[in-house]
Amino acid sequence: SRVPRGSGSNCEVADSNESSASEGRRHREEQQPDYATRAENRHIRKKRFVSSPRYVETLLVADQSMAEFHGSGLKHYLLTLLSVASRMYKHPSIRNPINLVVVKIIVIYDEQKGPDVSSNAALTLRNFCNWQKQHNLPSDRHAEHYDTAILFTRQDLCGAKTCDTLGMADVGTACDPNRSCSVIEDDGLQAAFTTTHELGHVFNMPHDDAKQCTSINGINSDSHMMASMLSNLDR
């Protein structure tokens, strides 16, 4: 999906086949010991929710425009953006904290050796997804194997109708090594929120104002990390 720059632009979704999975609380029926052979001595107890942290191994890629703009501080800057995103994914409402683990950073100093980046956000995403596959090792046990890849660029990204696009990712691709990737336009530290948003799409999250989410978010659908427009953010 695409994250518009201002508060007055409409967001366009790159993949219309968005889906969301709702997680219900499981129940377990447990029977007490029945020494009197009375079958009615049963009770139903709700299973207690146990939070299980998840780890998402991540590749960070910065193109030539990022290298030229940030210079020697580039890697530290990228880690700062990911640190902010990682903190947001530890919000208690998620219940299972998601830890973003950076396993590798690639800085492209020669644009000929990187993916083709242009103002066309959708095409840039496709090019990057195809390019990043060569750097991912097949074994999940390898220290540099990653679950998702993120490209940062200073290129002004454009959608089908406007150039208010701040990022793009396909929806629900976390388990697809060929499509688990996103593109972020760097416009300062607020790119951390764009990163969080686009990773949300990779994790199969729709926009807060999507039909399946309106009953949950209500009037607050414009102030969470999956809001269609990046204007203000409460959580």
Q: Which residues are annotated as a binding site for Zn(2+)?
A: 197, 201, 207
Annotated binding site: 197, 201, 207
Q: Which of 12, 18, 57, 198 is catalytic?
A: 198
29 assigned to active site: no
- The DSSP-derived string for the chain is ---BSSTTSPP--S-S-------PPPEEEEEPP-TT--TT-EEEEEPPP----EEEEEEEEE-HHHHHHHGGGHHHHHHHHHHHHHHHTT-GGGSS-EEEEEEEEEE-SSGGGS----SBHHHHHHHHHHHHGGG--S-TTSTT--SEEEEEE-S--B-SS-S-B-EEE-SS-TT-TTT-EEEEE--STTHHHHHHHHHHHHTT---TTSGGGHHHHGGGTTSSTT-SS-S----
Name the residues annotated as catalytic: 198
